Amino acid sequence: MIIDKDHARGFRILGGAILSLFVTISVMADSGYLKFLDSIIIGEVQKSQGGFKEGLMHLCTTLASPKMDIFWILLMAFFLWGFKHKLAALWAIFTIVGGDVVAFIIKNVVRRDRPFLHSASDTGFSFPSGHVFGIFIVICVIWIIVVPLIKSNKRRLTVQILTVIFLLLVMISRVFLNAHYPTDTIGAVLIAYTWVQVSEIFYVKYAKRLKANWRPVRHSYL
């Protein structure tokens, strides 16, 4: 299968959950340490404005908007379905939709206000960053499903490097544009990572059952 049983997955979920919980509780408690960390990073990221950098930040944040995240997943799912990776396509859609639900719940539990003077277009609560959360899931789908289908080692490595760079740029862009605190983006990565690990368990548990019992995916690759 594209996603196999992995005995270490439980440890990764536990580690991700512990780190996610630590950051989430620290944000809810308005930790002075986190506020200090945020202020240092914000100062570094926002110390130069305008020009090419600002244009790049706007481009990155646009390409990683929640609506675009869903578009990228649906686009990948369309091609995966066409090439008989139907179960993988369904898993990708499930992961992004389920992840959005998880992020929505956490946002409304934590209820962290956005940074002062944020753009009017950035609505809702600040923690975790929806842009970073969604694009992290998109990148995970690329790494887990798409990259293994690439035959060339160099091309696989290139895709992995470029996606990591893009993730970092999106994280920086949300801070640069004053849409989020740095810890919003870090928390988003930790929570999204944990969710993806949980989502993989669903694939391992149900993929074979779906293939055996649901006609539309009967001829799908596992």
In the numeric block, the tokens 């809702």 are attached to 124
Q: Provide, rounded to the nearest whole percent, the portion of the chain with pLDDT above 90.
A: 69
**pLDDT band, residue 109 (cuts 50/70/90):** very high
Please tell me the predicted confidence (pLDDT) of residue 107.
95
Please tell me the predicted confidence (pLDDT) of residue 120.
65
Quick one: average pLDDT of 146-160? 93
pLDDT digits (tens, 9 = 90+) for 8-17: 999 999 999 9
**pLDDT band, residue 68 (cuts 50/70/90):** very high
Q: Provide, rounded to the nearest whole percent, the portion of the chain with pLDDT above 70.
A: 99
Quick one: average pLDDT of 39-47? 88
- Least Cα distance to 183 among 56, 31, 61 occurs for 31
| CA dist., res. 99 & res. 106, Å (int) | 11
Quick one: average pLDDT of 96-117? 92
CB neighbours of residue 7 within 10 Å: 6
Quick one: average pLDDT of 104-127? 85
Quick one: average pLDDT of 28-48? 88
Quick one: average pLDDT of 132-160? 95
**pLDDT band, residue 6 (cuts 50/70/90):** confident
Please tell me the predicted confidence (pLDDT) of residue 52.
82
Please tell me the predicted confidence (pLDDT) of residue 62.
94
Please enumerate in sequence order all residues whose Cβ is within 8 A of that of 83, keeping only pairs 6 or more positions apart, or say none: none
Exposed e or buried b per residue across 83-96, where buried means at least 16 C-beta atoms within 10 angstroms of its C-beta: eebbbbbbbbbebb
pLDDT greater than 80 at residue 122:
no
In the numeric block, the tokens 């481009």 are attached to 59
Q: How does the average pLDDT of the chain come out, rounded?
A: 91
pLDDT greater than 80 at residue 119:
no
When comparing pLDDT for 7 and 161, which is higher? 161
The predicted model scores a pTM of 0.93
In the numeric block, the tokens 């950051």 are attached to 23
CATH code of the region 8-216: 1.20.144
pLDDT digits (tens, 9 = 90+) for 158-176: 999 999 999 999 999 999 9
Q: How many Cα atoms within 13 Å fall on the side-chain side of residue 113? A: 5
**pLDDT band, residue 49 (cuts 50/70/90):** confident
What six digits make up the tokens of 215?
């006609």
